[in-house]
Amino acid sequence: MYLIPIPAFNDNYLWLLHDGKRALVVDPGDAGPVQRALDEHALQLESILVTHHHADHTGGVDALREATGAQVWGPGAERIPQPYTHLKGGDTARALGLEFQVIDVPGHTAGHIAYYAPEVNGKPLLFCGDTLFSGGCGRLFEGTPAQMLASLDKLAALPGNTVVCCTHEYTLSNLRFAMAVEPGNAELAAYQAKCIRLREQGMPTLPSSIAQELLVNPFLRTRQATIMQAARHFDASAHDDTTVFAAIRQWKNQFK
Ligand SMILES: [Zn+2]
């Protein structure tokens, strides 16, 4: 299987997975770049997987469905372009001969789902939409901090070698914030230096892995003493899992 991040808009990645003949695409906000990639590699688009309803994740669905006849899978609890197969946590989406387990991850949007395949090219593979970013997490547009923390806990519990396909190149700005929260984290400093080099070469910083994120992502590390302390500096009332997470998320929203 080949895994390709197709850049779109300012900083989106539309993930394409293909076996040389058939392809699936995740969250095609724009049909044009996906169609060009299909043409370039002579691929038949078999499936479209959608994680949530935002336009930069769904804007190309209708055009691609019409052009290719691809089957569309998406969150049953959200409004995305019809017709599509409605999914909820615990369901399975079948594409390219793979079985993707559907995980409910509300927070960024109310019905956001993620897709997890236990083995692709020898490793687990995760398409997490706007829930988990490298070094960060999605903004809470429709959910509560408690919901988002529970969603991130589910993703953090996946195997460390899980290949994590995030949908935005937000890594460098996320890591600048992460360094403000945890200036003494040596793993974080090393990862930041690596990502800066990648961006200087015009390369994506993604995919990441769950093990990498557990070392550097403040939103997966809110139970660490250093992070709890930093959260209390920002908001003295932060005292438990949820309020520490909420304080870090609020701090990030204001961080310049
Ligand atoms: Zn979104």
Taking the CB of residue 73, how many other CB atoms lie within 10 A of it? 27
Which helix (H) or strand (E) element contains residue 69? none
Please report the pLDDT score of residue 178 as a whole number. 98
Please report the pLDDT score of residue 27 as a whole number. 98
Which residue is catalytic, options 27, 30, 56, 104? 56
- Cα(128) to ligand 1 centroid in Å equals 11
Which residue is catalytic, options 130, 233, 239, 240? 130
- Cα(54) to ligand 1 centroid in Å equals 5
| pLDDT per residue as tens digits for the range 158-195 | 999 999 999 999 999 999 999 999 999 999 999 999 99
Mean pLDDT of the chain: 97
Which residue is catalytic, options 168, 235, 239, 240? 168
Please report the pLDDT score of residue 44 as a whole number. 98
Which helix (H) or strand (E) element contains residue 51? none
- Cα(131) to ligand 1 centroid in Å equals 8
pTM: 0.97
Q: How confident is the model at residue 255 (pLDDT cuts 50, 70, 90)?
A: very high
Cβ–Cβ < 8 Å for 199, 161: no
- Cα(199) to ligand 1 centroid in Å equals 23
Within 8 A by CB and 6+ apart from 59, the residues are: 28, 29, 30, 31
Which residue is catalytic, options 52, 53, 104, 112? 52
Query: ω into residue 124 within 30 of 0, thus cis?
Result: no
